[in-house]
Amino acid sequence: MKLAFITIGLLALAVAGIAIKIWAKKDGEFAGTCASQNPHLNKEGESCGYCGKLPENCENK
C-alpha cells in the first residue's frame, strides 16, 4: 500500500510540473516541438509530418 501511495504521489507531481510549465509558457505551448527543427531527425530538410512546415518556416527556432 505504501508503494501505491508513493507511485500516485510521484505521478501527481509529474502532472503538476507539466501543468505549471504549460501555464508559465506564453500561449501555453511547448517550445520546439516540431520535428523539423531537430537536425538529427530531419537531415534531408523535409517538411514536418505534424504541422507541414519546412524547417526554415518554423516559428519556434
Taking only the tens place, the pLDDT of each residue in 23-38 is: 887 666 666 566 656 6
Q: What is the rounded distance in angstroms from the CA atom of residue 47 to the CA atom of residue 5?
A: 44
pLDDT in tens, 12-21: 999 999 888 8
Query: Against a cut of 0.85, is the pTM above it?
Result: no
33-55: burial string, b at 16+ Cβ within 10 Å, e else: ebbbbeeeebeeeeebeeeeeeb
C-alpha cell at 52: 507541414
Let me know: does 37 contact 58? Beta carbons within 8 Å: yes
